[in-house]
């Protein structure tokens, strides 16, 4: 019986998150009302407040869903990476970037980034930072895996190399979400051009 309750709870939570993601896109973060989210998710307003304290908590839940999905997809790349360092890094980054606008618009990313910066010690800020650390750790795991396969030089500091790859991607992604007109293809091309220098420095 408890398993069924958990299943229903997870289903309601998913409906809330998906309804909010659609409404945040359509009406903007500020314009979307909790009452409308509840109606679209086919739950009561009270049910939403049983799950989340405010819209900020819903937004970070959407970000968490997005990041957890890419982390799950990224595990496959880390386990069986392409045998070319540039291709392996590009494949992992491609998962991160290409998935980024499935649930969140650029405006939603800007709101999430602003909130995490303005309120770093809030639950939102701490969750956002933890998600970034998860992506950083996975990028470092990929470089470590490539070194274990003999594709990256043994003396390379894999943690530093992974951090550089992720931090640069993160900075470029911030520029991407600030510019409504920039397409993903342009972002990917810029990151590839920059990573070419790092790959040349670390590959065996």
CB 20 within 8 A of CB 58: yes
pLDDT tens by residue, 125-136: 899 999 999 999
In order of their start, the domains of the chain are: 1-52 (1.10.10.60), 56-202 (1.10.357)
Tracing tokens 């409906």 back to the chain, one arrives at 15
Q: What's the rounded Cα separation, in Å, for the pair 137 and 65? A: 18
Beta bridge partners of 203: 152
130, 133, 129: which is closest to 113 by C-alpha? Answer: 129
Beta bridge partners of 39: none
pLDDT tens by residue, 102-151: 889 999 999 999 988 998 888 888 999 999 999 999 999 999 999 999 99
CB 82 within 8 A of CB 199: no
The whole model's pTM is what? 0.89
CB 85 within 8 A of CB 203: yes
């Amino acid at each position: 019986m408890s398993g069924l309750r958990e299943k229903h709870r997870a289903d309601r939570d998913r409906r809330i998150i998906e309804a909010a993601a659609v409404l945040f896109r359509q009406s903007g973060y500020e314009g979307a009302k909790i009452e409308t989210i509840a109606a679209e998710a086919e739950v009561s307003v009270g049910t939403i407040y049983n799950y989340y304290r405010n819209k900020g908590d819903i937004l970070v839940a959407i970000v968490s869903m997005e990041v957890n999905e890419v982390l799950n997809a990224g595990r496959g790349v880390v386990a069986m990476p392409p045998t070319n360092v540039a291709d392996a890094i590009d494949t992992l980054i491609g998962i991160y970037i290409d998935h980024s606008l499935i649930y969140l618009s650029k405006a939603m990313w800007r709101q999430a980034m602003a909130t995490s910066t303005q309120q770093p010690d809030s639950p939102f800020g701490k969750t956002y930072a933890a998600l970034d650390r998860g992506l950083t750790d996975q990028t470092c795991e990929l470089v470590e895996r490539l070194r274990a396969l003999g594709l990256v030089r043994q003396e390379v500091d894999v943690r530093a190399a992974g951090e550089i790859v992720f931090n640069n991607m993160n900075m470029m992604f911030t520029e991407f979400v600030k510019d409504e007109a920039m397409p993903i293809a342009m972002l990917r091309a810029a990151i590839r051009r920059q990573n070419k220098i790092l790959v040349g420095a670390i590959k065996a």
